[in-house]
Structure 1
Amino acid sequence: MNFEYSEKVQALIKRVNDFMDLNVFPVEEEMHRQVELDLWSTPPLMEELKAKAKAEGLWNLFLPVAYGKYSAGLTNLEYAPLAEIMGKVMWASEVFNCAAPDTGNMEVLAKYGNEAQKKQWLEPLLEGKIRSAFAMTEPEVASSDATNIELSIERDGDEYVINGRKFYISGACRKQCEIMIVMGKTDPTNSNRYIQQSQVLVPMNTPGVTLVRPMKVFGYNDAPEGHGEVTFTNVRVPVENIIVAEGKGFEIAQGRLGPGRIHHCMRSVGIAQRALDLMCKRVGERIVFGQPMIKQQSVREDIAKSACQIEQARLMTLKAAQKMDTDGNKAAKELIAMIKIVAPNMSLDVIDRAIQCHGAVGVSQDTFLAHAWAGQRTLRLADGPDQVHMMQLGRDLVKKITE
């Protein structure tokens, strides 16, 4: 394994760092202020930052070269340090058009979409002109098992009729969200549980689509992205809106989640590193019992443990990314599962220590720590709960030994 970055990637690391220092960190408070003025719409400041990043060529950095003219041509390994930098601010990845759920949806459309679907939906997403959502999770079933999904997609002539309810649909609350990729069942009685599902494109303005409410995460509404509860009542879309074909939903979902999971992990390393940096600054300045906090042995231990955990997770993330590049996502599934288990838990540990060192202000709105902790805790559920990854990883490792 060689994790030394090429001159091209080193230059990109510097450019993204410089962009963050000049354009993102200084306006964090202003971004939050603008969001509060119009909760569910992209703030003007975000559009300004997107235009700057696009003009500087810092755009769609997550896309591999196979996706054509809109791509920066980076491998997963090359993208990893850039995603880590973006991860230091919870909304920063959107500035570079590298934000979920759009990234996963763009990858799905690029890999599985037909030419008409790419023209209508992929290109505007790649340009950053619209936003999107991925509607999979349902409140009535354990959605960590995708075969449980109950939303009905029934063929009726030249249309599909969709009925069901979804929740925690990230991005659905935003006014700029124009399209959802919706997962449901076209063949619920098929004896093969893995070909019962399909994925279909549903424009947000389709009659029968109702945004019921924004769901909160530990009390945060995560505006303007939001996590919507959405109902589908006799929603009709053309049969041309099916992605690939009926019965391909589970396969598409698995293909979508591999890159998305590791992107989340890259950002987890970034937010943990920022929390550690803030903790180091705090303990060097804060006086307790007549001396700086850094003089306390327990504080030194917290900093040391945090640095070790971050570096361990960083290296595991890079190893998984490299495996994806060299051998493909399927061959890297064990490493992807490992880092998906490790990275959010690592980040939670580090952020928790940083909160402790900050005392009351650590749980307030005066630092990014409390909201970051909520986001990382949620990540232990998003893209598959820890328990699912551990169950499958344990099964596969034993199978290797015993076969």
Structure 2
Amino acid sequence: MPSVCFYFHVHQPVRLKRFSLFDIGREPGYFDEKKNAEILRKVAQKCYYPANNLILELIERFEGRFKVSYSVSGVFLDQAMDYEPKIIESFQRLANTGCVEFLSETYYHSLASLYSEEEFFEQVLDHMLLIARLFGQVPNVFRNTELVYFDYLAHLIKRFHFKAVLCEGWDAILGWRSPNFVYETQGFPVKLLLKNYRLSDDIAFRFSNKDWKGWPLTADKFANWVHSINGSGQVINLFMDYETFGEHQWENTGVFNFMRHLPAAILRHPDVDFVTVSEEADRYHPVGTLSMPYPVSWADTERDLSAWLGNEMQQATIKAVYALEEKVKDTRDLELLKTWRQLQTSDHFYYMCTKWFNDGDVHKYFNAYERPHDAYIYFTNVLVDFIDRVEDFLAGMKVANKQQEAPRIVFEAPVADLNIPVPGIDLPVPGVELPNAVARQLGQVGRAQ
């Protein structure tokens, strides 16, 4: 019988203000802190607190036989620490059970893997440091933003010696093969853990749909679907947004009650168990290799990048953002660097999506604006203002003759008191300029035996 692996992604973007043309050069801040705090607290009450309490209850009830994995964006964690720190405490209680694993991802939920190797590398390092500091774990499995995977990503993450990477089990890639097996990347060998999108989406998207032939979905019914895979798979990877519970599927749909009874229903079969992503990678040998020469994501019916890069507005703005990398890092200014990275968050470009057919309802639900063109206008205005700020800063440096050599300061975290080793990270990394501050931090962590 296969193992069951629950993986949840936790993320909330920092939303922009309605930044008008007349705000350029006048408005000091770009982000709607009031709105961001309001949304985070609302979702915390509907999802994060009740869902975390339920997961903790299940872990304790089944005495560690129930396990889950999380990927929590740095953008989310920053907001939680600023607006609702008790959320962090609730995740720390889960971490302390020994039945919860935290994955690595890009700190700012960005598409840096497509545009800048250096920036991708630095964001992953920053995120690993934050997870270690908050939850006492060093991630050894990677999940890219929006589950984007392509062959070259294996080359990028090999520098961290991750044992596995998550990706979508998409039919167009798998062909006759099943997502219920562990595979291996082409080239540099990293295990590929594939989402069973049919069973995952039964919970994440179809649970409350009364027109769906599987409605109403009960724990026993879903467990029978899991048990039916007996003999035809190693694992069943149920990957979904954590906001499925209470936010996308409201409490009155019965989704919490469904989850409360699901582990018992699945564990009725004596050969079934729950595993974290690392346990899955350790236990099962790959049955073959998979190649994805072009990026595959978990979004929309196409499973490609069109949700973020499908039109000229999206393509132009994201290219303009990454074109600023050298200048922003030359400023060696932490505030400008953080703002630039916040502008990389993929949600900004998702809001500009103009696909309104099969995926229209999904894009409308997640959009912070009435029209995608509004998202483009506000983002462009912010970008124009930010470019002016960067240029003015560099001009001031030149006038003050401050262009002497200095290390790039990318991340300063209080990690000296950590007692956690970071095994297997190559220092220095060939082909990538490792910021001195980060190198020192990883050196401190690695020596703290």
Superposition TM-score, scaled by structure 1 size? 0.23
Superposition TM-score, scaled by structure 2 size? 0.22
Q: Whose strand proportion is higher, 1 or 2? A: 1
- For CA contacts below 8 A with separation 6 or more, give which structure has more relative contact order: 2
